[in-house]
Amino acid sequence: MSIRRILQSRRGAAAVVITATLALTVAGCGGDADKASDKEKTASAKPGAEGSENDEPGKVVPDTGTTLATVKGPKDIDLIINSVKRESGGFVTVNGQMKNNGAEAFYDMSAWRGTEQEVLAGGISVAGATLVDKAGKKRYYILRDTDGRCLCTAGLDKIEAGKAIPVFFQFPAPPESTTEIDFQLPTFPTVAVEISG
C-alpha cells in the first residue's frame, strides 16, 4: 500500500470520527434545551407564578403571599410589607407593595423620596425610608449606587385606584444579633418588623 493511500484512509477515518463527535454533541445539547424548557414550563405552572394585572414582561414581581405588616398612609394608601430579608452581601432588603384603596389615582408621593439633594434629582422614589435598630441605637439609610441613585423603587408617578405597585428598599445590614427593626417611610407611621435570613 502506498503512503498516499494510507494518508487518505487516515484522513477519511478522522473525518468520520469528527462527524460522529459533532452529531453526538448536537444531540446532547438538544436534550439539555428540552430539559431547560421543561423546567421553565414547570416554574411558570407553580402557584403564585402567575402575574397580576400590573405585571410587565421581564419585571420581577415580589412574593406577596406573606404579609408581615400593613401600615395606613395618606389618602387610602397602604404600605404592605411582605418580607424583610438579610442578604449575604451585607444588606437587608425590604419587599412590599403600595396599595391604593381609594376611588381615585394617587399622585402625592414626593415626600417618600426624602430630602437628600442627591436623591431629589433622581425623580420620585422611596429613598426617604430608614431602618432603626433600637437595641443598637442606630439608624440605617437607603443604600446608593456609585451614581448616587437609591437602591430602591424609583420612577414612581401614580398609583391607580384599586391597584397595588411593588416596592423594594435596600439598607446596610444591622448586626446579626439584631432580629427586629423599626421601618420608617415619610407620611407613614413607624412599624416594627422581624428580619429573616
Show pLDDT as tens, one digit a residue, over the chain (197 residues).
555 554 455 555 545 445 555 454 445 555 444 444 444 444 444 333 333 344 444 344 556 678 899 999 988 999 999 999 999 889 999 999 999 999 999 998 888 987 766 666 667 899 999 999 998 899 999 998 888 888 999 988 899 999 999 999 999 999 999 999 999 999 999 999 999 87
Determine contact, residues 74/184, Cβ cutoff 8 Å.
Answer: no
Print the domain residue range for 41: 1-50
Same domain, 29 and 83: no
Alpha helices in 46-143 (DSSP H): 117-120
In a domain, 99, yes or no: yes
Counting the structural domains of the chain, the total is 2
Same domain, 92 and 183: yes
Same domain, 45 and 88: no
Helix and strand totals (H; E) in the chain: 2, 8
Same domain, 108 and 151: yes
* pLDDT in the model for residue 122: 63
In a domain, 24, yes or no: yes
The domain that holds 97 is classified in CATH as 2.60.40.10
| Identity at 19, one-letter amino acid code | T
In a domain, 101, yes or no: yes
Same domain, 119 and 188: yes
Distance CA 45, CA 37 (A): 12
* pLDDT in the model for residue 113: 84
In a domain, 63, yes or no: no
* pLDDT in the model for residue 129: 95
Same domain, 96 and 182: yes
Name residues whose C-beta falls within 8 Å of residue 139's C-beta, 6 or more positions apart in sequence. 130, 131, 132, 133
Distance CA 138, CA 183 (A): 12
In a domain, 61, yes or no: no
Alpha helices in the chain (DSSP H): 3-45, 117-120
Same domain, 118 and 179: yes
For the chain, what percentages of helix, strand and coil (3-state, to nearest 5) are there?
A: 25, 30, 45
Distance CA 76, CA 102 (A): 5
